[in-house]
Amino acid sequence: EVQLQESGPGLVKPSQSLSLTCSVTGYSITSDYWGWIRQFPGNKMEWMGYMSYSGSTAYNPSLKSRISFTRDTSKNQFFLHLNSVTTEDTATYSCARRPIGSSGFDSWGQGVMVTVSS
């Protein structure tokens, strides 16, 4: 059974960078697609981007200038980097799997709450 687990700082100062890790067990990140989704207070959800099984990426255009994804296949982990954060980036960040051929996110991590505040 695939399991995903996010980790990273719960508090980031404005203008700094946010980096989160998604650790995957039970399934290889060299298969399927892997995404980051965030949920703001009030429940609005935003897709941040995907990393494919080959390592190619697609980002939400609204974040494109600030976001990047990387991965470490030896550890079966992928990473979110978000630059120049503001208070509007305060949200719960989740990683999720999107199987090829499905288009829906069928497995999610538990999410990590990140607050941007000085």
Partner 1 sequence: DTVLTQSPALTVSPGERVSISCRASEGVNSYIHWYQQKPGQQPKLLIYKTSNLASGVPARFSGSGSGTDFTLTIDPVEADDTATYFCQQSWNDPTFGGGTKLELK
Binding segment toward partner 1, per CB under 8 A, in 8-16, 65-73, 77-85, 100-108: 100-108
Element holding 38 (H helix, E strand): strand 33-39
Here the tokens at position 101 are 């051929």
Give residues with Cβ within 8 angstroms of 65, minimum separation 6: none
Residues 34-53 that bind partner 1 (CB under 8 A): 35, 43-47
For residue 102, the SS3 value is coil
Query: What is the radius of gyration, based on Cα positions, of the chain?
Result: 13
* Pair 78, 56: CB distance under 8 Å: no
Binding segment toward partner 1, per CB under 8 A, in 7-15, 17-25, 65-73, 107-115: 107-115
Asked if 10 touches partner 1 (CB under 8 A), the answer is no
Please state the closest distance from residue 94 (CB atom) to partner 1, in A. Answer: 6
Asked if 60 touches partner 1 (CB under 8 A), the answer is yes
Residue 59 is given by DSSP the state E
Binds partner 1 by CB under 8 A, chosen from 61, 74, 88, 118: 61
What are the residues binding partner 1 (CB under 8 A)? Answer: 35, 43-47, 58, 60-61, 94, 102-106, 108-111
